[in-house]
Amino acid sequence: MSEPRTLPRDVLARIPDLSVDELRGWWAAVFVWKLRPVKTGEPALLGARARELGVTL
């Protein structure tokens, strides 16, 4: 069984600074790559940034 894949740490560190367009792109990539619960991991960080920007994903 393969290990769960995550985004590289440098990408995770950049999530708080993503623009609206970058945020939408990463959000789509994360969910195309693998559906995950929104409460944890990258989706949670992306969702928090979206709320800060007032963006609906």
pLDDT (tens digit, 9 = 90+) per residue, 5-56? 565 677 678 888 889 888 888 777 776 655 556 667 777 787 788 888 887 6
What pLDDT shows up at residue 15?
82
21, 56 Cβ separation under 8 angstroms: no
Domains of the chain, residue spans: 9-53
Amino acid at 36: R
CA nearest neighbour of 16 among 55, 57, 48, 54: 48
Question: What pTM did the predictor assign?
Answer: 0.41
What pLDDT shows up at residue 7?
58
Instruction: Say which DSSP state 39 is in.
Output: T
> Which are the contacts of 33, defined by CB distance < 8 A and separation ≥ 6?
5
